[in-house]
């Protein structure tokens, strides 16, 4: 089965609202690279580490054309684009790559039999009293 590729045009921002527009085949990997400072140059120098906007494309040519279009825009127009979908400038990649613990509902856990046995003991004790 062939895996369908996706391409992303994204905008990263610093706290002081310096903007960077780029293209990638893996938004997850690229956002983490920006956040960790692995991307040398402009984004590292200005601490541009918050993903504030992205679009997904099926064809790389379409993504490249869109990136060029956005880069040609004025700063004000790029800010309006971000605000249209992310008015609070939330970091869309917040928490990506961090270790998470699974939160399994009590009814779905493997140790549920143990919990049921404890409940039965409580019922027996209540009947004795």
pLDDT digits (tens, 9 = 90+) for 65-116: 999 999 999 999 999 999 999 999 999 999 887 776 767 777 776 665 555 5
Separation of alpha carbons 108 and 11, rounded Å: 40
Residue 104: CB atoms within 10 A of its CB come to 11
Question: Does residue 129 register a pLDDT over 80?
Answer: no
Q: How many residues does the chain have?
A: 129
Q: pTM here?
A: 0.75
Q: For the segment 36-66, what is each residue's pLDDT rounded down to a tens digit? A: 888 889 999 999 999 999 999 999 999 999 9
Q: Pairing state of beta strands 19-24 and 7-13? A: antiparallel
Is residue 8 within 8 A of residue 23, CB to CB? The reply is yes
Q: Please give the domain boundaries of the chain with CATH numbers for all domains.
A: 7-85 (3.40.1440.10)
CA proximity to 54, closest of 16, 81, 18: 81
């Amino acid at each position: 089965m062939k895996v369908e590729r996706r391409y992303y045009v994204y905008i990263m921002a610093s706290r002081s609202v310096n903007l960077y527009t780029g293209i990638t085949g893996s938004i997850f990997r690229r956002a983490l690279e920006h956040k960790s400072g692995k991307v040398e140059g402009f984004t590292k120098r200005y601490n541009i580490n918050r993903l504030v906007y992205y679009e997904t494309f099926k064809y790389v040519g379409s993504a490249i054309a869109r990136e060029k279009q956005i880069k040609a825009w004025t700063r004000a127009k790029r800010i309006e684009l971000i605000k249209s979908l992310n008015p609070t400038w939330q970091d869309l990649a917040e928490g990506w790559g961090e270790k998470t613990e699974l939160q399994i509902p009590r009814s779905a856990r493997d140790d549920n039999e143990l919990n049921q046995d404890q409940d039965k003991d409580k019922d027996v004790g209540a009947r004795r009293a």
